[in-house]
Amino acid sequence: MPSLVNPEVEMAVKGFILDQEKMAEVVERMTKEMKMGLAKDTHPRAVIKCFVTYVQDLPTGKERGKYLALDLGGSNFRVLLVTLNSDSDVETISKSFEFPKSLMSGSGKALFDFLAECLSEFCIENGVQDETLPLGFTFSFPCQQQGLSKGILVAWTKGFSCEGVVGKNVVTLLQEAIDRRGDVKINTVAILNDTVGTLMSCAHSHKNCRIGLIVGTGSNACYVEKTVNAECFEGYQTSPKPSMIINCEWGAFGDNGVLEFVRTSYDKVVDRITPNPGRQTFEKCISGMYMGELVRLVVIEMINKDVMFHGDKSQKIQKAWSFNSSYISDIESDPPGEYRSCNKVLNELGIIGSQESDKESLKLICEAVSSRSAKLCACGLVTIINKMNINEVVIGIDGSVYRFHPKYHEMLQFHMRKLLKPGVKFELVVSEDGSGKGAALVAATAVQNKPKI
């Protein structure tokens, strides 16, 4: 059957297609960058920072008690009360709060005062305002940790740009805001990245979980490294604990130009219109915050060339960021030859009177962008597995792209198998509430493993 897709569209998406050779090259370059991030002498100039998290204890299943968790991950903000009763009995009460857009670019003080206000409201609602509860703070932005409860913000990502926070310990800023109110008793015992929470919550039920991955608004991964390889950790040679979770911060891979061979002209346009041009290169090729805009840019070019939608000048699609990444999942979930979800998306975008060839072209563009995302993620996971030199591993994954894209899980598995050495076994598992349960588990291990004085 002849293709319904216009050759111009096929040409436009060619740059998103990564063959086996290019993927192997990504793995090779990423391996080199990760080694630089781990080594003390090359760390300052490394783009994949491989930050030490100070989390050295994985859950044993013996963690007990009540813990608070605060999750600031970008597009969402939640407060949770997690009660660990037994290995299999974990009670969670959570509340999501509406996050005012203005706080993303206002003062740091206003941001942390808002977080403290929500925490207080939540504690009072749940009757725990008079208990002194340990808090695990999931803060999903690049932080250099100097201890389990000391995280210095390196740079804002995901559209945030609050002043007075970069270079500061965010735990101190949060604790000061809590203390300013003085109406609840909370002790922030740990700061963690959402990838660490993902790994911890998955490790609670899958003892062999050693990697945490997020593919949502942003993208990042963490893994369990031998402490002796974590050179940026003060006591790396003498630590009694054999393992250390490393927060890769892989979103910045390529900020030094080593990923130019997989980037397209559309990637460069997206990069220019973000608040952090030239930064988070790998993340901008992968994550949900950018995928929709990449698709939109290709579509606009095709509309302008009168190749798709007969030059339809729908006002909505002309607007930057108007093509939600969730549309990609919708469009790709249509069975071959059917366009129910696609029609719904076009309707929302104000595009009327499209032909079957337009819909097939749109689907091809979506597939090109999402499959490149999955391939690059597969490259990253393979790099980590090779680095760990293990033959069997469980990978805990969270994030809207992984959860809601109809083919992402299969694509990841397929490309990882092609790249990994024969005989290496892995399992991809959806991590249940990493930023909540995971944060509570980090807080629990922190409290329970504290040296007795």
Give me the helix-helix angle, 108-125 and 170-181, nearest 10°: 60
Q: How far apart are CA 443 and CA 149, in angstroms?
A: 10
Q: How far apart are CA 170 and CA 301, in angstroms?
A: 42
**Residues with Cβ < 8 Å from 423, sequence gap 6 or more?**
391
Catalytic hit among 49, 71, 113, 194: 194
In contact, 428 and 395? CB cutoff 8 Å: yes
Tell whether the torsion through CA atoms of 400, 406, 409 and 415 is positive or negative: negative
Q: How many CA atoms lie within 13 A of 7 on its CB side?
A: 1
276 phi/psi in degrees, rounded to 5: -130, 65
Give the closest residue to 4 by CA, choosing from 367, 360, 364.
Answer: 360
Beta bridge partners of residue 220, listed in sequence order: 214
Residue 130 bears catalytic tag: no
Q: How far apart are CA 281 and CA 366, in angstroms?
A: 20
Beta bridge partners of residue 177, listed in sequence order: none
Residue 158 bears catalytic tag: yes
Strands 219-226 and 150-153: unpaired
Beta bridge partners of residue 188, listed in sequence order: 135
The string of DSSP letters for 242-273 reads -EEEEE--GGGTTTTSTTGGG--HHHHHHHHT
Catalytic hit among 158, 284, 363, 375: 158
Give me the helix-helix angle, 265-272 and 288-304, nearest 10°: 120
In contact, 69 and 80? CB cutoff 8 Å: yes
Q: How far apart are CA 166 and CA 401, in angstroms?
A: 28
The type of residue at 36 is M
Q: How far apart are CA 111 and CA 159, in angstroms?
A: 14
**Residues with Cβ < 8 Å from 19, sequence gap 6 or more?**
none
Catalytic residues: 158, 194
